[in-house]
Amino acid sequence: MSDDGRIETRCIHGGQQHEPTTGAVMQPVFQTSTYAQPWPAKHTGYEYARTQNPTREALERCIASLEGATEAVCFGSGLAATSTVIQALGSGAKVVCGDDLYGGTYRVFTRVFAKFGVEFSFVDLANADLEEAIPEDTDLVWLESPTNPLLKITDIRKVAERAKQVGATLAVDNTFATPVFQRPLELGADLVVHSTTKYLNGHSDVVGGVVATADPAWAEQLRFLQNAVGAVPGPWDTWLTLRGLKTLAVRMERHQANARRVVEWLENNPKVTRIHYPFREEDPGYAIASSQMSGFGGMVSFVLDCTLEQAEKFCASTKVFTLAESLGGVESLLELPASMTHASVPPEIREELGLADGLIRLSCGIEHADDLIADLEQALAAALQ
Ligand SMILES: *Cc1c(COP(=O)(O)O)cnc(C)c1O
C-alpha cells in the first residue's frame, strides 16, 4: 500500500477530491450526455459522456487506489469489463482459463469470442503443471481465485511467474475476494477484473464492472475500447457504486465474521458432509489462501447429506437468507447450484466436478450471526423432517 493511507481509508478517500465549484464533499451525479464548448474543438476536458464523465472518473480513481493500479476503467457490467479485455486481443489469440469460471464468463468466451477466432482452453489452474497448462504461445491467462461455487484457490504468484515467462498477460477476476482481502496486482497480475455488482457496490442495487491495471499499454487500450465500443455505466450507477465502496472495508470484516460463525455451526452439524471454505486448516486451499489473502468474505459452500428434493426444500425454507443468484450484498443469499446456476451441467459431470445435489452456496450478509444460524437451523429441521 502506498502513501494515500490504508485500505479502510482509501475506500473513503482514494482518488477523491471535493467538487471544485461548490466544495460538495460527495462527488455529484453528472447527469448529462454532452458538455458545452466555448469554441469549436476547444473544451474543458469534457466533450461527450461516453468518453468522459466526472462521476464515473471519481469511481475509477477510487477503485484504482484500492487495487494499487494506475488506472481503473468502468463498464456497464462485469461481463462488459471481461469482454473488453478479450476485445483488446486479436483473432487467433490464445487464452488459457481456469476450469471453473463464472458461468457468464465461460458463455461469452465460448459462444461469442470463439466466433471471432479467439481460442480458449480450460484447465484446473489450482492443480495443473503450469508449464504444460500455459504453453509458450499463450497471450492471456484468465483466472478466478477463489472460484465459484467450490471456492478453490489458485496460487496467483506462481501463475504470474509462468505468464511472465511466456510473455502472456495475467487477468484475475477478483470479485469474490475484493481488494480488501486480496490485491492481485501486488501478486504479479497485469489486470484485475471485478463485477462491481457484488461486494464493491455491496447493496444489490447496481450492475457494473471494472478492469484495473498498472500497465500503461493496457491502460491505454482499455480506455480506447471503453469509448470505442461504448459499454459504459450510467452516472447514477457509478455514483451508487462509489457510495457503496465507502463501507467496503467494514462490510468485508462483518461478512467474514458472520461466515466464520456459520462455518463453526456447519462443523458441528452431523448432516453436513463437506465444507468449502479456504480459511479452515483442513481446506486444500488453506496454505495458499493464507499466503495471498489477508481475509475472506462471506462466501461459504457446503454439502448436506440429503436428496436433491430435500436440498430444494432447505433452500425454500430459509427466512433471513433469500433464495437468489448473485452474492456480495448486505443481505444474506443462498442458492442451490444443482438446480440453479449449474442446472445445465449433466448430473454425472456435476458429480465429477464436485457439484453434489446437496451442495448449497451461501453469501453471508451483515445481519446478526445468531439470526443467520437460527435461520439455517430451522430450515434444516423443515427440510429433513
Ligand atoms: C457476477 C460475476 C461476474 C459477471 O458480472 P456481471 O456484473 O453480472 O456482468 C463475473 N465474475 C464473477 C466472479 C461474478 O460473480
Residue 259 sits in the same domain as residue 146? no
Last residue of a domain, one of 196, 222, 245: 245
* Ligand 1 pocket: which of 102, 112, 194 to mutate (most atoms within 8 A of CB): 102
Residue 95 burial (CB count, 10 A): 23
The number of distinct structural domains making up the chain is 2
Please indicate, yes or no, whether residues 185 and 264 belong to a single structural domain of this protein. no
Nearest CA residue ID for atom 6, ligand 1: 78
Name the residue of 198, 205, 327, 363 to mutate for ligand 1: max ligand atoms within 8 A of Cβ: 198
Q: 68 near 186, Cβ under 8 Å?
A: yes
Same domain for 229 and 330: no
Q: What's the grid cell of residue 242?
A: 462509489
Instruction: Cite the active site residues.
Output: 50, 102, 173, 198
CA distance 39 to 184: 44
Cα of 103 vs centre of ligand 1, distance in Å, is 9
The closest-lying atom of ligand 1 relative to the alpha carbon of residue 81 is 9
In whole angstroms, what is the distance from residue 187 CA to residue 170 CA? 11
Give the whole-angstrom CA distance, residue 131 versus residue 138: 11
Q: Which atom of ligand 1 lies at the shortest distance from residue 79's CA?
A: 9
Q: Is residue 1 part of a domain?
A: no
In this structure, are 173 and 266 located in the same domain?
no
pTM score, whole prediction: 0.96
Instruction: Give the Cα separation of 106 and 92 in Å (integer).
Output: 18
Looking at 205, 227, 245, the residue that finishes a domain is 245
CA angle 49, 51, 53 (to 5 degrees): 50
Ligand 1 center to residue 173 CA distance, Å? 9
Give the pLDDT score at 2: 47
H or E segment and range at residue 351 = helix 347-353
Helix ranges (H only) for 2-115 are: 7-13, 54-67, 78-87, 103-111
* 255 and 124 in a common domain: no
Q: 278 and 176 in one domain? A: no
Ligand 1, atom 8, lies closest to the CA of 78
Going by CA atoms, what residue is nearest to atom 7 of ligand 1?
78
Is omega for the bond preceding 38 within 30 degrees of 0, making it cis?
Answer: no
The rounded distance, in Å, linking the Cα atoms of 116 and 258 is 44
Report the pocket of ligand 1 as residue ranges, CB < 6 Å. Answer: 77-79, 102, 104-105, 144, 148, 173, 175, 195, 197-198, 207, 209
| Cell output for 74 | 468502468
Residue nearest to atom 1 of ligand 1 (CA): 195
Of 194, 211, 245, the residue at which a domain comes to its end is: 245
Is 205 found in the same domain as 253? no
Q: Are residues 194 and 326 in the same domain?
A: no
> What's residue 341's pLDDT?
84
Burial of 216 (0-12, 13-18, 19+ CB in 10 A): exposed
Between the CA of 303 and the centroid of ligand 1 the distance, in Å, is 23
Which numbered atom of ligand 1 lies nearest the CA of 208?
Answer: 7
- CB–CB of 81/209 below 8 Å? yes
Tell me how far apart the alpha carbons of residues 267 and 56 are, in angstroms, rounded to a whole number: 44
Run means of pLDDT, 10 residues per run, the chain, 385 residues: 81 94 95 95 93 98 98 98 97 95 92 97 94 98 95 97 98 98 98 98 98 98 98 98 98 98 97 96 96 96 95 97 96 95 82 88 98 98 92
**105 CA closest ligand 1 atom index:** 10
Residue 27 CA, ligand 1 centroid: distance in Å: 26
| Claim to verify: residue 171 and residue 280 sit in the same structural domain | no
Please check whether residues 182 and 157 belong to one and the same domain. Answer: yes
Residue 120 lies in a domain: yes
CA of 148 to the centre of ligand 1 (A): 10
Q: Are residues 276 and 197 in the same domain?
A: no
Does residue 310 lie in a domain region?
A: yes
Cα-to-centroid distance, 196 and ligand 1 (Å): 8
Task: Give me the domain span that covers residue 39.
Answer: 7-245
| Ligand 1 atom at minimal distance to the Cα of residue 104 | 4
| In-domain check, residue 315 | yes
Q: Which of 175, 194, 207 to mutate to test the pocket of ligand 1 (most atoms within 8 A of CB)?
A: 175
Query: Please, which residues bridge with residue 171 across strands?
Result: 142, 191
What residue has cell string 445481519? Answer: 367
Are both 236 and 347 inside the same structural domain?
Answer: no
Give me ligand 1 centre to Cα 78, in Å.
Answer: 5
Extended beta strands in the chain, E state: 71-75, 94-98, 119-123, 140-144, 169-173, 191-195, 209-213, 272-276, 299-304, 322-323, 333-335, 359-363
Does a structural domain hold residue 2? no
